Amino acid sequence: MKRLLVVVFLLLSVPAAARSYTVSFNQIVEHPALDALRQGIKDELKAEGFQVSYHDHIAQGSIATANLIARQMLGEQPDVVVGIATPTAQACAQVIRTIPIVFAAVTDPVGAGLVTSLEKPGGHITGTTDMSPVGRQIELIQSFLPGVKTLGVIYNSGEANSVTIVKALKEEAAERGLKVEEATVSNSAGVTQAAKSLVGRADAVYIPTDNTVVSAFEAIVKVGQQNRLPIFAADTDSVKRGAIAALAVDYYQMGRQTGEMVGRVLKGADPATMPVETLREFKIHLNPASAEKMGLKISDAQLKNADKIVE
């Protein structure tokens, strides 16, 4: 009995970061923004000294696959489950009841049914939201195109986060006297045609943080460059891929912030009492070369105001 008590005492006395943990990821699709987010979580946990083994799962855009992955995770018995993007976070929440879940890149956690409120999640789930500053993003577009009257938007109407963003886009655009033209897709194969459908109907195109659409972003850029139709993004990684500009979430930094939350859960914090967090700051990224190909020239003042310029 004494030996058992000694073992328990020794285990309890080991610092949390010095123990070995398992974290399982359920990510809806591979694309640079979400991949950067996942890496940011890993980098943060490493920086904090945690010893972690990972199970990385990608649902390849399939809700059915996301549900299968969630059930597979139960067998992995991780210390924390991380759901990256709304559909995979929802899949995890529906299946996993006894393991803490930390979500990331979820636009509307309350609307998605993941938490009771942002301030008091109330269950075994918390995380970070990537709700875009849509009003400020429209103002950024107007700074490049003062005469813009119609904004195009491409999104998957089956993604709850995208529906939320487009609703906010319409409201913010209406306040500024702008019209919004929609092009919806159900999978990445339809993105090119959706982009082409906006040629002649929109003065510029805004791409929200829609996982289906962003996974095929190069196709949109090609249409934009061929038709001199300016393309703007709601995530910074898409600027590297050809968007003119973004005032947006830096998904790697969101990963680091989410990693901090995962670390607190590993140390014993209760997700029910951990408020959902938003990114602490947004960045302006510019791509002058792509702007020129789409018929725009970025001014010296705009270059000076940027946080990052893509060469």
Domains along the sequence of the chain with CATH: 2-129+251-278 (3.40.50.2300), 134-248+283-309 (3.40.50.2300)
Percent of the chain topping pLDDT 90: 83
Paired tokens of 56? 């990385």
pLDDT number for residue 127: 98
Q: Which among 185, 184, 209, 30 is positioned nearest to 107, based on CA atoms? A: 209
pLDDT value of residue 110: 94
Exposure of 254 by Cβ count < 10 A (0-12 exposed, 13-18 middle, 19+ buried)? buried
Please, are residues 56 and 27 in contact by the beta-carbon 8 Å criterion?
yes
Tokens matching residue 178 = 């702008």
Whether the full predicted model's pTM is greater than 0.75, yes or no, is: no
Determine contact, residues 262/229, Cβ cutoff 8 Å. no
pLDDT tens digits for range 264-284 = 999 999 999 999 999 877 889
pLDDT band of 248, cuts 50, 70, 90: confident
Range with the poorest average pLDDT among 11-20, 136-145, 209-218: 11-20
Mode of pairing for the β-strands spanning 204-207 and 231-233:
parallel
Q: Over 70: is that where the pLDDT of 7 sits?
A: no
Mean pLDDT over 285-302 rounds to 95
Nearest alpha-carbon partner for 147 in 172, 176, 174: 176
pLDDT in tens, 86-138: 999 999 999 999 999 999 999 899 999 999 999 999 999 999 998 889 999 99
